[in-house]
Structure 1
Amino acid sequence: MTSVHRQIVDIVASRTLYDESYLSPESHFEAELGIDSVIFESILATVRERFALGAELPAGLATIRELVDAVEEALAGAAAPAPAPAAEAAATGDPLTEAVVGAAMRHTQYAREQLPLDADFEGELGIDSVVLVSVVADSARALGLPDGLAGTVTAPSLRALIAELRPFLDSAAAVTEHGADWDGRSMKDFVEKRDPDLFAKARGFRSYLRGREAEHLYWYGMPLHSRCGSRALILDELTGQKREFLMFASNNYLGLANHPKVIEAVCDATRTFGATHTGSRFIGGTNMLHKELERRLAAFKGRPECIVYPGGYAANLGAISALVKSYDTLVVDKLNHMSIVDGARLSGGVRKIYQHNDMADLERILKRRDDRSGGALIVADGVFSMHGDICDLPQIVRLGKEYGARVLVDDAHATGVLGERGTGTAEHFGLKGEVDLELGTMSKALAGMGGFVVGEPEVIEYLRFYSHSYVFAANIPAGVAAGLIASLDVIEAEPQRVGLLWSNIRFLRRLLVDAGFDLENTESAILPLVIGDERKAMEMGRAVRARGLFCQTVVFPGVPLGDARLRISVTCEHTREDLRTAAGVFVEAAREVGVLPSAG
């Protein structure tokens, strides 16, 4: 295999995530590899950059061999500079190094020369803990190492990872012991479970899940049989019993989901316009109410234009992947929501991860960014959904301006909560108009469905044509749009709802802190009770439910292993009696399972 062939296979593998062994010279890009025109253009752009080709490559290249031949011909006919030297890892010949670097390439889309061994996984390579699990698992399988390694490795770089795996390569006797009376696995153990039968992982997880459910530790997805207010009737599908719970797992922060004006607006519009429209915004899916909703959201947020997506997840996926390309850089907080993580992966851009709310680390990354790589976008949650703290938006905006990066803030849990009017993080910090893009979801405080992005007209217009999750997805029903407009009416007519919400937040937070709980640095309607150990967190969640209160038990992948917690959501509908009762329940449950010391 020639050097050109080697490097082109690397590029194709990094852009498609195919194993290199699958990429034969005669592999047809479209018919065999499923590479569409968009990905193919990305491959060609990378090839031209890698080999410093001045001229365009011929049209109609259909196979890897044809692409290799075309590049070699172009290099032979021009005094082109030599290709960039391969990274240290490429020339070692060490099987362990090759296995780890190859796995990293497949799971990050980086080429070999973009993976120096000493580069920091998060800050320089943008490899988070989930991707690292996949890299380790892939490497372990290639080398015949134990499967359990994937959940234990914490190396900060490729070199450190190789050193950490070396003892296991020398000795195959490493076995993970689980207690006889406790299944010590977590959901992390099923992330990379390979088998010739694609569904084998599902069978393994099902067995694990049934065990957790039998002990009433996993209680996810139980159906409500009533409206969800400060209380809700929930069916425990494990026992077949219905029970009313004091509800602290709802994001209905301003109590609008059950507001009569909102419900009436949904019903009236549905009667007028029907259940839905069965179309995307471009093809039969735009109703007059959608236009009005976008106008109202832009006015509420104090920005010129707004685009509405089918969901908040779709908004992050669509906006990030439309704006960021393979030659651009995405700089993200370590604790950002998974929709931001997936938007980054879909974009194909270079992802850099700064330590949570660490502005010195963010500046370090921005300083070291290669200016030739294109543009840069900094993305951060306004309120971090599992921690409740707020991003340092003033510093993010300052650094964005200083280093020529655009800024997107995700206000999913900030809209309706932060700021005097509840318009979000920018208002909270007095930065209206200073943030390039503000993104939000309408399924929380706004009591509907959908997501949105507000910003300058030319950017919003671009998103309408290049966000796949907007162009190729059906829109929210007109009835939902009408309900959201009514929610905005109520927020603007009853600003005291935001004040009542904050009164409740401060009251419960004080009770929980005084009781000895660790609430980290929460400054929002999300109050985390940090426990750490998954088993204790699940057992405390069970003890809380047994006392008639429901809140979220958060384990991996919602948070990293060792960071398990209970997540409490406060609303303006909670009474002082509700809050005192909740605090008492949490204290009793914590003492029962050993999270807090026993009374006396």
Structure 2
Amino acid sequence: MGPGTSGGRQAGGVIFQERAERWVPRPGVLVVVKGRVAGGAPFEGHLVDLSQSGCQFLILSGQLHRKQAVEEVVLAGGAETPARPLGGTVAWVEALGPGRLLVGAIRFAAAQPELLAGLRDQLVHPSYRRDGLDTLPVGYQNVDFDLDTRSPLVEFYRCDSPDLLQKCREFSRVIDVMQQQHLFQVLFRTTTTSRIDRRVVVANPLTRREQEMINFDGGSPLGLHLHPRVIERVRAVLDQAGAGSPVWPQGSGSTSHLRDLEEILCRFHGREDAMVFPSGYTACLGVIRGLVRSDDLVVRDSYSLAAIQDGCRVADARSARIYPHLDMAALEGILREAANDRELQGRLVASDGVFPLTGRVAPLADLVRIAKAHGASLLVAEGAGAGVLGPTGRGLEEQSGLPGAVDVLVGSFGQAAGMMGGYVTGSRALISYLRFFANPGIFTTAMPAHVCAGVTEAYRVMMEEPEHRERLWKNIRALGPALGSAGFLVSDPTSPFLTVFLGADRLARAFTAELFARGIRVGAVTYPSVPAGEALLRFSVSARHVAEDLEAAVRAMTELGRTYGILCRSAVETREIGERAQVPTPLT
């Protein structure tokens, strides 16, 4: 199939080309792109690739913005190249280099097979296996792309196109850039070939070799998924009950192992009843959706878990409000204002107990006081606090001296127990209701018996062996202050999640990649998970870490802090340094 041959799909009158239909300039050929946006402002650039439906080009002059109308664009690759003006829309603009090199894309107003045919002598098919922007105009092949794709995810979620899948194709360009930078493989698709522990073996996607790394990017802070008692119990029940539990919990009945798990959850949290879900995410989603009605109000923290956020979105609430992170005055203001709305009925305040993104702990006493004062019910997601907070690890209620204060307590087995699943616990009336109205926990296959048995044994270990929790806190209180003494802006050591403020997304990704190269896995928390300019590194501390692991992390972080000049700086200074830093691609 040659230039000018249609290979796209018709959607709403517009032809959307597949990736295989893109063509690039021949080696040594420079195709110039010139035009004007709405209002007459000119722009000029060099072509990267071309299809019937649009083109990508390096922007040399002018300013382009996504969704901006293009009055005229001309492509010229030689003296005899047709230069008929075309119209269209700016599809996207990416900032790609340490010199702020920009790549833009224009979607033509109509398919242009004649344009491709007219440029046939200047173009070549790249046998389109695209692992990044691998085909650049002559003179640009050695550009060292920086780490900032500058593409808010919400823009792709809200992509304006009659083709449902167009946003997927547009978003793939961001993945292309991250692959070129060797970031996608490090941040999102790293393959671990060993068990998940304080040290893991990773299949390095760049060297194609296995590499041992210190792991600060996991769950299971107590390490109970590797406890001999837990493993032995899982094996015994796996042999006895088989690999799965193919029953519907509500209709086909529950296994004895599921009942045992519900019972130990009630004992652990001091509640009357409990309900188990396939995951902590589905527990939050199902509980909020099951409780909140069309005439209710639900209010959440701005840094709430995705599960709480999505639960609030899918709930049929008349009003859903968000208050700034841990801002109790703002929460009270929302509830006070709601008191004047006579059409509102129930009120639900939803908060994390420990916020995984920031490592901060919710002020439970204030939440309880405010909720009671305004007649609201309180839901707390206790996934990261259970087994960790409080003198005996019973969670935020115990640490706050408020046993039983939370109306709806939701949890996850992915943290303290280090296994799959989630739950809600509370009054007998609450759980009896949710067994009929929390759909994600009803219309699903029951959790396998051996998983239930393993989680149950993990909770027994939590209650009987405090040394795991004590060792965890020793590590938290060692690593946090050490990073602070080195000159970083680090969160208080109040949870297993220690965060280091870096401000700029590109700097957070650079730190993550450079630490990876040094054999240390750490998570980056960037926009949109946190507001723009508030990027963090997140260390997930485990009871299984040893002093050598912590010292290696502090040493590597200090080296990088010196390299980028961010030690002993304020948040404003750190952010500014990160935004203008010349960030290399460290893994090439």
What is the TM-score normalised by the length of structure 1? 0.69
Q: Give the % identical residues.
A: 36
1:359 is the counterpart of 2:325: no
Counterpart of 1:415 (choices 386, 390, 406) is 386
Q: Distance in 2 between matches of 1:420 and 1:148?
A: 56
CA contact (8 A) 1:213 1:238 kept: no
Alignment correspondent of 1:396: 367
Quote the offset at 1:244 in angstroms.
0.6
Alignment correspondent of 1:249: 217
Q: Which runs of 5+ in 1 are unaligned?
A: 1-144, 150-171
Structure in which a larger fraction of residues adopt strand: 2
Quote the offset at 1:595 in angstroms.
3.7
**CA spacing shift, 1:572–1:402, aligned 2, 3 Å:** same
**CA spacing shift, 1:597–1:375, aligned 2, 3 Å:** closer
Alignment correspondent of 2:240: 272
Alignment correspondent of 1:192: 158
Counterpart of 1:529 (choices 492, 500, 507) is 500
Quote the offset at 1:392 in angstroms.
1.0
Quote the offset at 1:414 in angstroms.
0.8
CA contact (8 A) 2:67 2:90 kept: no
1:333 is the counterpart of 2:304: no
Cα shift readout 1:19-49 (whole Å, capped 9, x = no counterpart): xxxxxxxxxxxxxxxxxxxxxxxxxxxxxxx
Q: Which runs of 5+ in 2 are unaligned?
A: 1-63, 69-88, 102-144, 570-588
CA contact (8 A) 1:501 1:571 kept: yes
CA contact (8 A) 2:94 2:151 kept: no
CA contact (8 A) 1:186 1:556 kept: no
Quote the offset at 1:380 in angstroms.
0.5
Quote the offset at 1:491 in angstroms.
1.0
Counterpart of 1:432 (choices 373, 395, 403) is 403
Alignment correspondent of 1:147: 66
Alignment correspondent of 1:230: 198
Alignment correspondent of 1:49: none
CA contact (8 A) 1:246 1:549 kept: yes
CA contact (8 A) 1:526 1:568 kept: yes
Quote the offset at 1:146 in angstroms.
4.9
Counterpart of 1:208 (choices 143, 166, 174) is 174
Quote the offset at 1:521 in angstroms.
4.6
Quote the offset at 1:520 in angstroms.
3.8
Q: Distance in 2 between matches of 1:596 and 1:285?
A: 58
Alignment correspondent of 1:502: 473
Query: Secondary structure in 1 aligned to 2:343?
Result: helix
Q: Letter of the aligned partner of 1:202 in structure 2?
A: C
CA contact (8 A) 1:285 1:475 kept: no
Moved more, 427-436 or 202-211: 202-211
**CA spacing shift, 1:521–1:335, aligned 2, 3 Å:** farther
Q: Distance in 2 between matches of 1:185 and 1:148?
A: 15
For the aligned residue pairs, the C-alpha RMSD in angstroms reads 2.2
Residues matched between the structures, number: 432
Q: Letter of the aligned partner of 1:185 in structure 2?
A: R
Q: Letter of the aligned partner of 2:429 in structure 1?
A: E
Alignment correspondent of 1:309: 277
Cα shift readout 1:84-121 (whole Å, capped 9, x = no counterpart): xxxxxxxxxxxxxxxxxxxxxxxxxxxxxxxxxxxxxx
**CA spacing shift, 1:530–1:276, aligned 2, 3 Å:** same
Cα shift readout 1:464-499 (whole Å, capped 9, x = no counterpart): 100010111112111100100110121111112111
Greater Rg over alpha carbons, structure? 2
Q: Distance in 2 between matches of 1:597 and 1:302?
A: 45
Counterpart of 2:255 (choices 281, 284, 287) is 287
Alignment correspondent of 1:105: none
Query: Secondary structure in 1 aligned to 2:225?
Result: coil
Counterpart of 1:261 (choices 208, 218, 229) is 229
**CA spacing shift, 1:173–1:213, aligned 2, 3 Å:** closer
Q: Distance in 1 between matches of 2:152 and 2:433?
A: 39
What is the TM-score normalised by the length of structure 2? 0.70
Q: Distance in 2 between matches of 1:408 and 1:385?
A: 17
**Which residues of 2 match residues 101-112 of structure 1 at below 5 A?**
none
Structure in which a larger fraction of residues adopt helix: 1
CA contact (8 A) 2:477 2:493 kept: no
Cα shift readout 1:507-562 (whole Å, capped 9, x = no counterpart): 10010011111124552110111111111111111111111100112223322222
**CA spacing shift, 1:236–1:371, aligned 2, 3 Å:** farther
Q: Letter of the aligned partner of 1:208 in structure 2?
A: V
